[in-house]
Amino acid sequence: MSQLQQNLSQALALSQRIFDLAQDAAWAEMEQADRQRITLLESVFSDAEFQQKSDDYRPQLRKIADLNEQALVLCADAKGKLNQQGRSLKVGRKALSAYKRNSLD
């Protein structure tokens, strides 16, 4: 297996790991895995063999892109839930402040 194929296989495995970590909301680990994947993908895209025969690697790249999209959907969903929780806490804080103001009078 060539270095290009190894890097592409590792990038694919990391993409699967990133998706799995997104499902588990393991954001710090996901960020670390993404940094590793970026390094691998940079080496893939700069490889002369890849540049000459990029169509040969399209299926693996498509799978990496699909996994990335799925992970991004999970991240966006988690962000939305976190924003909603933040809004709920803000409303709760306002209610508590109002209660304190009115109960001390």
Worst-scoring range by mean pLDDT, 9-13, 63-67, 84-88? 84-88
Distance (Å, rounded) from C-alpha 39 to C-alpha 30?
Answer: 14
Higher pLDDT, 86 or 37: 37
Nearest Cα to Cα of residue 34 among 98, 47, 99, 26? 26
Nearest Cα to Cα of residue 18 among 10, 26, 9? 26
Average pLDDT for residues 42-54, to the nearest whole number? 93
The H helix count followed by the E strand count for the chain is: 4, 0
pTM (predicted TM-score): 0.76
